[in-house]
Amino acid sequence: MKWSSVISLLLLSNLKLLECRKITKKANALLILADDGGFEMGAYRNRICQTPNLDKLAKKSLIFNNAYTSVSSCSPSRSALLTGMPAHQTGMYGLHQGIHHFNSFDRIQSLPKTLKRNGVRTGIIGKKHVGPKSVYQFDYEQTEENNSILQVGRNITHIKLLAREFLNNTEPFFLYIAFHDPHRCGHTNPEYGEFCEKFGNGDTGMGTIPDWHPIYYQADQIDLPYFVPDTPKARKDMVAQYTTISRLDQGVGVILDELKKSGHLDDTLIIYSSDNGIPFPNGRTNAYDSGIAEPMFISSPVTTDRHNQVTYSLTSLLDIVPTLLDWYGIDSNEIKTPLTGKSLLPLLKNEPTNTTTEAVYVSHTIHEVTMYYPMRAIRTHRYKLIHNINYYAPFPIDQDFYLSLTFQDMLNRTRNHQPLNWFKTLRSYYERPEWELYDLKLDAGELNNLAGKPSYKKIFKELQEKLYNWQKETNDPWLCAPHSILEDAGEFQDNPQCMGLDNVF
């Protein structure tokens, strides 16, 4: 090889090295979160709901086909997202609301606090819904705590301008855009429709959001998820949600445009996901896949090998913090509490060759304060084991879903002995056994409970042991519930034990 060629190669290598160093030095991240969002987009093969901006982002991302929340409830899932710890470990057991005051423990080290200590400027725009402020403190905050949630969570023009203000800075940054769409609206603002689909649409008294061009759908033409009753009321409910998703999608578009205008599109890791399942029966607040499965894309400006490809690796929202710490080059030990999640950055390069040991975990305790229904679950590629700790009580229903067209129709049909056009009855939905075991390969709808079946005894015990070990590792106060008491102080300080209650009759 000629010396000129060698020199050229060395120069090219040095330029690439400098480029990598430049990106590392200026590493930024943008986390975009939908509120109760599901798979209503072209990237996940929904043929009706129009989401060109999300679909465009997906083509420049690794698409996750097995991503799950760690808890199907808003505040607990957001606390897990921002700490890398399940809700029972952070103390965010239920919805963060002033009257009931659910908060994380003061000692918790959150992602924004850790990033700030490492010279990363942090910002949140939209729905925060976690506390206390001392734990989840961002440098720049425009949330429901100092604005109308409709303005910072649904008015995408206002969100755009706030993002522009935040991005007008030269420091490395982490920006968390938490849309309030497509959360239900009927409980708090019924004048705007079931999903606030009328807010800012230009109708009389509704105002106008300049960057939003509403898209409307025909109820008889949409594709309902398998777990939603096929009734006119449920279809009407769903098309309202679809219209609101158009606002979310166009909001994603304007945010990405602002990122590009700021000159940071090529040095920013972009993550899109949702907090929990959609607010329909069998969805949000459930440990079934319909309640915990999430859309997720990760777009890296550095590792582009798998853009527009799919990963089937099991992923949890508990993996977001390890991923972002890895992206910024921060030691996860700074969190001070060992994390059970993993960095997802290696997936951007290669699909793992061995996924047989992969599992994700669910820890749900409360949604609204009256909805005490603790559940713990483990999901592998093939099996799901759910432990319904409060199984002797009926499964609870939250306020905004109760008022929905879908649930009111289900109630009325049940009371009038009319068919629900659903795969369950209300009674079977309410009444659940202590343990539920499903073979997801043969039973994707999670209808055939295999717990207690002799042929599944081995897998039941294996999953039960793994779930118990994870609860123990994450200091779950419900470790021994409901048939035992955990004694771990006094004479049991060095030998914690689950001690029986003899309460099974």
Catalytic residues: 74
Selection from 309, 381, 319 nearest residue 64 by Cα: 309
Identify the residue whose tokens are 């061009």.
213
- Among positive and negative, which fits the CA dihedral 285, 82, 144, 241? negative
Q: Which pairing describes strands 383-388 and 435-439: parallel, antiparallel, or unpaired?
A: antiparallel
Contact 90, 106 (CB under 8 A): no
* Residue 297, beta-bridge partner list: 63, 272
CA dist 254 and 156 (Å) reads: 8
Selection from 195, 266, 344, 268 nearest residue 30 by Cα: 268
Buried b / exposed e over 175-199, threshold 16 CB at 10 Å, is: bbbbbbbbbbbbeeeeebbbbbbbb
Selection from 2, 83, 487, 32 nearest residue 275 by Cα: 32
* Residue 126, beta-bridge partner list: 143, 178
Cα dihedral 277, 279, 283, 289 in deg (nearest 10)? -20
Other CB atoms within 10 A of residue 416 CB:
7
Strand (E) or helix (H) holding 149: helix 149-153
Q: Which residues make Cβ contacts (< 8 Å) with residue 185, sequence separation at least 6?
A: 192, 193, 194, 195, 196, 197, 199
CA dist list (Å): 65 to 197, 485, 503: 28, 38, 41
* 347: phi then psi, degrees, rounded to nearest 5: -65, -25
